[in-house]
């Protein structure tokens, strides 16, 4: 049996579905211009998670991260609602961590909304630990962000 998921680089042709997914999945979606900028940023890695559909691969998730000065910062990871609960988020998170380690990152970190329990669980399953809090980090609600981090040395 073939794998149910795969990963490929995001391109400009993906911006329409990524914008739709941003609006469905995230409280403060990035606009098309910001997403397009990230696609060409020299330190950015933008990946699409694909799920096997009726014989074809369907766009089902995406992630944006940067590797700078030996660190990976995961900015975005979202799974489209019809594909949640199947393990795609964990598959994509691990693919990001492996790619970041390949690019020389020693550590990965991210911020996640304190009340986003499903995302916090996902990141913990991927190997992240909660290491701090950024008080009132999110401007829209004043909500705290949980800082999560993990070493990448075991992924090389």
Residue 115: predicted pLDDT: 94
Average pLDDT over residues 122-128: 97
Residue 2: predicted pLDDT: 60
Residue 26: predicted pLDDT: 87
Name residues whose C-beta falls within 8 Å of residue 46's C-beta, 6 or more positions apart in sequence: 9, 10, 38, 39, 62, 63, 64
- Please check the confidence at residue 88 and state whether its pLDDT lies above 60: yes
CA–CA distance, 125 with 16 (Å, rounded to integer) = 30
Average pLDDT over residues 107-135: 96
- Please check the confidence at residue 156 and state whether its pLDDT lies above 70: no
Who wins on pLDDT, 36 or 156?
A: 36
Full set of structural domains in the chain with CATH: 5-155 (3.40.630.30)
CA–CA distance, 147 with 130 (Å, rounded to integer) = 6
Buried b (16+ CB within 10 A) or exposed e, 12-48: eebeebbbebbeebeeebbeeeebeebbeeeebbbbb
CA–CA distance, 61 with 46 (Å, rounded to integer) = 11
- Please check the confidence at residue 19 and state whether its pLDDT lies above 80: yes
The pairing of beta strand 107-113 with beta strand 129-134? unpaired
CA–CA distance, 13 with 44 (Å, rounded to integer) = 17
Residue 25: predicted pLDDT: 87
> 48: which 2 tokens?
């699409």
pLDDT tens-digit map of 25-81: 888 899 999 999 999 999 999 999 999 877 789 999 999 999 999 999 999 999 999
Residue 54: predicted pLDDT: 76
- Please check the confidence at residue 1 and state whether its pLDDT lies above 90: no
- Please check the confidence at residue 127 and state whether its pLDDT lies above 70: yes
CA–CA distance, 17 with 15 (Å, rounded to integer) = 6
Mean pLDDT (the chain) is: 93
């Amino acid at each position: 049996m073939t794998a149910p998921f795969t990963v490929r680089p995001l391109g400009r042709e993906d911006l329409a579905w990524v914008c739709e997914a941003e609006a469905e999945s995230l409280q403060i979606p990035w606009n098309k211009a910001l997403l397009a900028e990230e696609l060409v940023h020299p330190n950015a890695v933008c990946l699409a998670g694909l799920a096997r559909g009726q014989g074809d691969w369907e766009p089902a998730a995406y992630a944006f991260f940067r590797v700078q000065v030996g660190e990976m910062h995961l900015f975005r990871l979202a799974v489209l609602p019809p594909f949640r609960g199947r393990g795609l988020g964990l598959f994509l998170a691990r693919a990001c961590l492996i790619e970041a380690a390949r690019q020389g990152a020693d550590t990965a970190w991210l911020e996640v909304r304190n009340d986003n329990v499903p995302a916090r669980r996902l990141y913990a399953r991927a190997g992240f630990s909660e290491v701090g809090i950024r008080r009132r980090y999110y401007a829209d609600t004043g909500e705290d962000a949980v800082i999560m981090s993990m070493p990448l040395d075991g992924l090389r």
